[in-house]
Amino acid sequence: MSFTSKVIIVTGAAGNVGSAVIRLLAERGARVAAVDAVKQPLDALVASLPDPGRHLALSGYDLLDPAACAAIAERVGRELGRIDGVVNTVGGFAMGSLAESGPELWDHMFGLNLKTALNLYRAVVPSMREARAGSLVAIGAAAALRAPDGLAAYASSKSAVLRLTESLADELKRDGVRVNAVLPGTIDTPQNRAAMPDADPSLWVKPTEVAEAILFLLSDAASGVTGALLPVGGRS
């Protein structure tokens, strides 16, 4: 899959999946606008990419603020010339029973997992509609399909991402804009290994495997795919 001349915005860029997506995109010719709250790791990531001057490192933008997302879209369009795709990997995870999870937890989960994607989508879709082309990819979760004990807030917020994906795909398909999501199982990250020391991480999906699925959905090879909820579960 070649992304030569493509411009892709990736949020959560310094995270495990975000950084894997960015490295693959850069290797395959894309110009990347990497968005993350943490400046130093983000700058280091972009500096490590092939021909780093072709890319943007964008920190200090609050994705919960629609105006900040509009500023991201404006800057990327101005400095990189276009926006061909968005990958929203920013998000969060938290457990809590009904008794333990107050409104703050629910607001936090829906903010990180749903509103960050919604705000950036709203900011970039007008230019994609004008170009009659574009691809939006979000990260859902396997738990959004069937939620276990203690994950009501998290799974509900991820389920909302799936419904957003399906509805926007239907809304935008006649404008040439595709909207899809991947649904990872447990991802093999340092954080998950520390949290689950007795589990077998060889069964988990790797960040690069999630990234490859995302790149497929972004690519012209998936030109006929919209509204897909693609499971990426490894062997777990």
Q: Which residues are catalytic?
A: 154
- Provide CB contacts within 8 A for 221, sequence distance 6+: 1
8 A C-beta contact, residue 135 and residue 83 = no
Nearest Cα to Cα of residue 3 among 50, 39, 42: 50
> Angle, to 10 degrees, between the axis of helix 116-131 and the axis of helix 152-172?
10
- The rounded Cα 196 to chain-centroid distance in angstroms is 24
Q: Which residues contact 149 (CB under 8 A, 6 or more apart)?
A: 97
